[in-house]
Structure 1
C-alpha cells in the first residue's frame, strides 16, 4: 500500500494548498465562491480519508511483494478473491437509477416507481447467491 499511499498523500498536500488559496483569491476579488471552495474542501477530506485508510491497511497487512524492491512475481500468485459470475442485477440497478433521475424531469411519481424498482434490484444484489446454480 506504500505507493498508493504516496499518491494520495500528494493529493492531500495539493488540495491542502489549493483550497485555502482558491478561497482567498475568490474572496479578495470581491465575490467569494462558496461552491468551488466547498468542492475543493470535500475533495481534500475524501483524499485524506482514502490516504488514512491506505496507511492503516498498509500497517495491518504489512509489506506486499509490489512494495519491496526484491519482490518476485510468484509471491503475488494465488487466489485474489471471490468474483461473482455474470449477473443481470447491475443492469436493473442502472435502470432503477435512471428512472429515479428521470422522475425529476417528468414527474415525481416516476421517481417513486424507480425507488420501488431500486428496492427490488437491491434485494437482487443481496440474494443473488441464494437461488439457482449458485445456491449455498
Structure 2
C-alpha cells in the first residue's frame, strides 16, 4: 500500500499547489471549489491508505527485493458472466421514466428492480455457479 499512498500524496500536493494558482488566474469559484474538493479527496484517501499500510504486512510489490513468484496464489473471486446487472439497469431506467411519465410506471420499475436486485444478490446460491 505504500506505493499507492505515495501516488495519492503526490496528487494531493499537486492539487494543493494548483488550486490557488487557478483561483488567481481565473477567479472561477466553481473550478476552484472542484480543485479544493479534489484536494480533500486526496487527503482522505491518503489517510485511509496510510492506516491500511500500517496494518498489513509488506507485500512483494512494496519491497525492492520482492519477486514475482511471491505474489502468486489466489487473488480473489471473480464472478463469471451475469445478466442481472442488465436487468437492474433496465429496471432503473423504468424507474427514472416513471418519475417523468407517471408514478404507476415508477411502481412497476420498483417491483422489477427489487426482483432483479434479489436475483443479482442470490445468483451464486443456486444453479451452476453455486458455492
Please indicate the TM-score interval, normalised by the length of the shorter structure.
Answer: 0.7 to 0.9
Q: Tell me how far 1:75 sits from its aligned partner.
A: 0.4
Query: For residues 3-48 of structure 1, what are the alpha-carbon distances to aligned partners after superposition, in whole Å with 9 as ceiling and x for unaligned?
Result: 1111111111122233344345554xxxx52x32332232222222
Match of 1:107 among 78, 92, 101: 101
Point out where structure 2 has 5 or more consecutive residues left out of the alignment. none
Match of 2:116 in 1: 121
Question: Would the alpha carbon gap of residues 97 and 52 (structure 1) be closer, same or farther in structure 2, given more than 3 Å must change?
Answer: farther
Q: Which deviates the most, 59-68 or 48-57?
A: 48-57
| Equivalent in the alignment of 1:22 | 22
TM-score by length of 2: 0.76
Number of the residue aligned with 2:128 = 133
Q: Which residue of 2 aligns with 1:12?
A: 12
Aligned to 1:59: 54
State the TM-score, normalizing by the size of structure 1: 0.74
Which whole-Å CA distance do the structure 1 matches of 2:72 and 2:47 have between them? 27
Give the superposition deviation at 1:121: 2.8
Cα displacement (A) at 1:83: 1.6
Structure 1 residues 4 and 124 mapped into 2: Cα distance closer, same or farther (>3 Å)?
same
Over 3 Å counting, the alpha-carbon distance change for 1:52 and 1:96 in structure 2 is farther
Task: Could you tell me which runs of 5 or more consecutive residues in structure 1 were left unpaired when the two chains were aligned.
Answer: none
- Alpha-carbon RMSD across the aligned residues, in angstroms, is 2.6
Number of aligned positions between the proteins: 130
